[in-house]
């Protein structure tokens, strides 16, 4: 609401990942599920993640409170040169990024130990560089380490050049397209625009598409009349 996505659990807090893993354990132990699909595997933005317990955990390893990276407080911070301050920023960003990756890795191992055939996927930011640096979401690394079977980039751009640019960034980063099911929005554009993006996705040899969201169908059932033949034909 009003551009605010809601409350997040911070994976830098040492209690968060074990709690989420306990929920996954309950799901796979009590229900015959074929897969796990994750959403919001990221920080809300660069300014998030400064919870007290997470900062304490970082300080144990690096002797610096991450808040000093923001407000410049503390005599130790003022004693550092520019290169040293940059180094601490890198360490803090890596710490946040790794906290999410640790969850993905542990979740994959937990699920596959129980059911080796289970499929694990995630909805991810389509701009890989932005995902990595702004949201601390290393989804390319998750694929490369086989933590995920596939990802669904939320490539919800309306303008075709923006949609194509996200694909170009993936290709330039060496993303394996065979593990990417392209997310295409229906809630913000007309069917003909969706069809154009479907054809673009097909031409790039992605294995499939994911249309978002079901609300479009509920609000406008005839919306998909022109889209369905294209999907079935391909």
Per-residue pLDDT 10s for the chain (234 aa) are: 556 678 899 999 999 999 999 999 999 999 999 999 999 999 999 999 999 999 999 999 998 888 888 777 666 777 888 898 899 999 999 999 999 999 999 999 999 999 999 999 999 999 999 999 999 999 999 999 999 999 999 999 999 999 999 999 999 999 999 999 999 999 999 999 999 999 999 999 999 999 999 999 999 989 999 999 998 887
Clarify whether residues 77 and 9 are in a common domain: yes
Clarify whether residues 115 and 208 are in a common domain: no
Q: What is the pLDDT of residues 118-137, one digit of tens each?
A: 999 999 999 999 999 999 99
Clarify whether residues 15 and 59 are in a common domain: yes
Pick from 101, 103, 15, 19: nearest CA to 54: 15
Domain span holding position 17: 1-120
Establish if 133 belongs to a structural domain.
no
Domain boundary among 120, 145, 178: 120
DSSP-assigned letters across all residues of 135-163: S---HHHHHHTTS-SEEEEB---SSHHHH
Strands (E), the chain: 35-38, 119-124, 150-153, 181-185, 208-212
DSSP 13: S
Establish if 150 belongs to a structural domain.
no
Supply 105's token pair: 């890795």
Establish if 135 belongs to a structural domain.
no
Domain boundary among 72, 100, 120: 120
Q: Provide, rounded to the nearest whole percent, the portion of the chain with pLDDT above 70.
A: 97
Clarify whether residues 87 and 178 are in a common domain: no
Tell me the three state secondary structure of residue 209.
strand
Establish if 165 belongs to a structural domain.
yes
pTM equals: 0.93
Clarify whether residues 114 and 3 are in a common domain: yes
pLDDT number for residue 134: 97
Clarify whether residues 20 and 110 are in a common domain: yes
| Torsion angles phi and psi, residue 217, rounded to 5 | -65, -40
How do 119-124 and 35-38 pair as beta strands?
A: parallel
- In angstroms, the CA 64 to CA 56 distance is 9
- How many structural domains is the chain composed of? 2
Clarify whether residues 3 and 115 are in a common domain: yes
Whether residue 17 contacts residue 106, with contact meaning beta carbons closer than 8 Å, is answered with: yes
Whether residue 121 contacts residue 152, with contact meaning beta carbons closer than 8 Å, is answered with: yes
pLDDT number for residue 70: 77
Establish if 134 belongs to a structural domain.
no
Clarify whether residues 115 and 176 are in a common domain: no
Clarify whether residues 2 and 110 are in a common domain: yes
Q: What is the pLDDT of residues 16-28, one digit of tens each?
A: 999 999 999 999 9
Establish if 126 belongs to a structural domain.
no
């Amino acid at each position: 609401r009003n551009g605010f996505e809601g409350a997040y659990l911070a994976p830098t807090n040492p209690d968060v990942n074990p709690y989420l893993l306990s929920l996954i354990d309950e799901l796979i132990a009590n229900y015959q599920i074929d897969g796990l699909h994750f959403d919001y595997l990221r920080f809300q933005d660069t300014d998030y993640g400064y919870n007290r317990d997470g900062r304490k955990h970082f300080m144990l390893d690096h002797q610096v409170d991450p808040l000093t990276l923001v407000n410049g407080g503390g005599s130790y911070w003022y004693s550092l040169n520019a290169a040293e301050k940059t180094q601490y920023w890198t360490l803090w960003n890596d710490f946040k990024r790794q906290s999410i990756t640790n969850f993905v890795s542990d979740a994959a191992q937990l699920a596959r130990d129980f059911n080796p055939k289970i499929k694990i996927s995630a909805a991810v930011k389509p701009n890989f560089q932005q995902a990595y640096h702004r949201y601390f979401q290393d989804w390319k690394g998750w694929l490369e380490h086989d933590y995920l079977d596939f990802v669904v980039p939320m490539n919800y751009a309306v303008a075709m050049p923006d949609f194509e640019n996200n694909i170009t960034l993936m290709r330039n980063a060496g993303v394996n397209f065979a593990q990417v099911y392209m997310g295409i929005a229906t809630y913000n554009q007309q069917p003909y625009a969706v069809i154009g993006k479907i054809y673009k996705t097909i031409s790039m040899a992605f294995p499939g598409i994911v249309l978002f969201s079901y609300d479009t169908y509920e609000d406008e059932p005839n919306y998909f009349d022109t889209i369905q033949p294209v999907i079935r034909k391909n």
